[in-house]
Amino acid sequence: MTHVATLQDPLEEVAPPRGRSGAAAWTIWLLRRLGLALLTLWLVSVLVFLATAALGDPVRAILGRDYNSNPGRVAQLEAQLNADQGLVSRYFSWLGGLLTGDPGTSLANQQSVWDQISDSVVNTLVLVFLSSLVMIPVAFGIAMISANYRRRRPDTWIQTVLLALAGIPEFVIGILLVFVFSTSVFHIFPAVTIVSPTGGPPWESAKGMVLPIACLVLAVVPYVSRIVRASLLEVLDSDYVELARLKGIPEPVVMRKHALLNAIVPGIQVIALQLAWLAGGVVLVETLFAYPGVGRQLVDSVRNHDVPMVQALAMIIAAFYIVVNLVADIISILLTPRARTAISS
């Protein structure tokens, strides 16, 4: 190309982006992150195992008062839990089972744990997925409207409502929703999820999904909106947004292209944390709407002292946390050119 001034000044030389080794650098980076994720998961497995099987005698914990009166059941349980083996070998046989897709047998009904939990895992994933599908655009939309009207009346109203929603526990929101939409005011949606007698998935009846999803969306939107609004406000004060306005870029484009793109990363991190929380911790909502999900099953299993079930569910929830956060980190880096180019060079 043209031989213009660049080389006149040695200080102008800035390392150009490296395209050649980019793919390799990305692969190495990704492998490292995956390795770290696996390491985390392994540590979780140690903790879960120690907490459920190693602290005290699991058989005694399971049987409680029956321990002394029912020696036959004790022997059966000990055989099932391999209680005669050492802790380490029990851990490794459990871990081996997990890795080969056989997390053991439920103590409560002697069925395979995997058969027991696979449905509820799918149910929860569907619930979380549908909720996030609604929640993400709503949260970002509210944040953008709010930031656009910063500290004027609409913004104040939105912030007040969001803060109130964030302050109400999610099951109270659920009860209010049931009150308004299914029992006392309107009768539009069913108050509980109807699982068909044939054992089909809960989303076969779309109407039954509306209230659980609405409840989860209302529980999560305030956090995400407030974080995105805060980072949007910061970006809107930046020099490059001012320059974009002085350049004559229309305000909606300024908001979408110049501001949102740079404010999205904190939002993604919060969304990841909230999704992980939804997957593991919305016991109350699942109970309220009788939704056959992971949270409810976990509570039931703990109540039944069903150690293999608790272990498997805990591992699945942990794995979901790790995967969601890993995905969020990758998306964040892809959306931040500075971090992205730092990896590929």
By CB under 8 A, name the one of 102, 115, 204, 242 that touches other proteins. 242
DSSP calls for 236-258 = HTSHHHHHHHHTT--HHHIIIII
Contact 228, 148 (CB under 8 A): no
From 159-167, 224-232, 254-262, 272-280, span contacting other proteins (CB under 8 A): 254-262
Residue 185 touching other proteins (CB under 8 A): no
Tell me how far, at minimum, the Cβ of 24 lies from other proteins, in Å: 19
Residue 146 touching other proteins (CB under 8 A): no
Tell me how far, at minimum, the Cβ of 233 lies from other proteins, in Å: 11
Q: Which residue has the tokens 């929860």?
A: 124
In terms of Cα–Cα distance, which of 188, 184, 226 is closest to 208?
A: 188
Which of residues 19 and 101 has its CB atom nearest to other proteins in the complex?
19
Which of residues 17 and 169 has its CB atom nearest to other proteins in the complex?
17
In terms of Cα–Cα distance, which of 278, 243, 271 is closest to 257?
A: 243
From 11-19, 37-45, 280-288, 315-323, span contacting other proteins (CB under 8 A): 11-19
By CB under 8 A, name the one of 91, 336, 343, 344 that touches other proteins. 336
Q: If you ran DSSP here, which 8-state letter would residue 55 be given? A: S
Rounded Cα distance between 113 and 102, Å, is 8
Residue 153 touching other proteins (CB under 8 A): no
Rounded Cα distance between 88 and 126, Å, is 36
By CB under 8 A, name the one of 137, 141, 200, 250 that touches other proteins. 250
By CB under 8 A, name the one of 40, 112, 238, 325 that touches other proteins. 238
Which of residues 60 and 256 has its CB atom nearest to other proteins in the complex?
256
x/- letters, 258..297, toward other proteins (CB under 8 A): x--xx-----------------------------------
Tell me the β-bridge partners of 112.
Answer: 105
By CB under 8 A, name the one of 46, 47, 188, 243 that touches other proteins. 243
Which of residues 149 and 203 has its CB atom nearest to other proteins in the complex?
149
By CB under 8 A, name the one of 100, 110, 246, 303 that touches other proteins. 246
The one-letter amino acid at 192:
V
Phi, psi of 112 (to 5 degrees): -60, 135
Residue 110 touching other proteins (CB under 8 A): no
Both structure tokens of 117 = 């939990």
Residue 20 touching other proteins (CB under 8 A): no
The one-letter amino acid at 324:
V
Tell me the β-bridge partners of 105.
Answer: 112
Rounded Cα distance between 228 and 63, Å, is 50
From 15-23, 112-120, 176-184, 194-202, span contacting other proteins (CB under 8 A): 15-23
287 CB neighbour count, 10 Å cutoff? 16
Q: Which residue has the tokens 């140690």?
A: 46
From 66-74, 95-103, 208-216, 240-248, span contacting other proteins (CB under 8 A): 240-248
Q: If you ran DSSP here, which 8-state letter would residue 17 be given? A: P
Residue 84 touching other proteins (CB under 8 A): no
Contact 259, 241 (CB under 8 A): yes
Rounded Cα distance between 62 and 308, Å, is 11
Residues in contact with other proteins by CB under 8 A are 1-2, 4-6, 9-17, 238-240, 242-250, 253, 257-258, 261-262, 335-338, 341
